[in-house]
Amino acid sequence: MCKLQFSFELKTQDEKARLGKIITPRGSIDTPAFMPVGTLGTVKGVFSEDIVETGSQIILGNTYHLMIRPGTDVLDLFGGLHNFMNWQKPILTDSGGFQIMSLAKLNKIDINIGAVFSSHIDGKKFVLSPEKSIQIQKSINSDILMVLDECPSLTKDKDKLISAIQISTSWAKRCKIEFGNNTKKGLFGIVQGGLYKNLRLDSLEKLVSIGFDGYAMGGLAVGENQEEMFNILNNTVDYMPKNKPRYLMGVGTPSDILGAVKSGIDMFDCVMPTRSGRTGLAFTWEGKINLRNAKFQKDKTPLDSNTTIRNLNLYSKSYLNHLIKTNEILASMLISLHNINFYQQFMLKIRKEIKKGTFNNFYNKYIDMF
Quick check: 279 binds a copy of itself (CB under 8 A)?
no
Quick check: 316 binds a copy of itself (CB under 8 A)?
yes
Of 341, 340, 291, 333, whose CA–CA distance to 316 is shortest?
291
Stretch binding a copy of itself (CB under 8 A), from 3-11, 68-76, 126-134, 138-146: 68-76
Q: Which of residues 92-151 bind a copy of itself (CB under 8 A)?
A: none
Interface with a copy of itself (CB under 8 A), residue from 69, 125, 242, 355: 69
> Cα–Cα distance between 116 and 249 in angstroms, integer?
23
Q: Is residue 94 annotated as a catalytic residue, yes or no?
A: yes
Residue type, 269: D
DSSP state letters, 131-188: HHHHHHHHHHT-SEEE-----PPS---HHHHHHHHHHHHHHHHHHHHHH-S-TTSEEE
> Cα–Cα distance between 134 and 154 in angstroms, integer?
26
Stretch binding a copy of itself (CB under 8 A), from 46-54, 143-151, 154-162, 286-294: 46-54
Binding flags for a copy of itself, 319-338, as an x/- string (CB under 8 A): x--xx-xx-xxx-xx-----
Marked catalytic residue, from 14, 256, 269, 304:
269
Marked catalytic residue, from 94, 143, 213, 266:
94
Quick check: 262 binds a copy of itself (CB under 8 A)?
no
Contact 359, 17 (CB under 8 A): yes
Q: By C-beta, is 66 or 232 nearer to a copy of itself? A: 66
φ and ψ at residue 335, rounded to 5 degrees: -75, -35
Q: What is the dihedral of CA 265, 270, 274, 278, to 10 degrees?
A: -130
Q: Which residues bind a copy of itself (CB under 8 A)?
A: 40-42, 44-49, 69-70, 73-74, 77-78, 84-86, 297-298, 300, 310-311, 314-316, 318-319, 322-323, 325-326, 328-330, 332-333
Catalytic residues: 94, 269
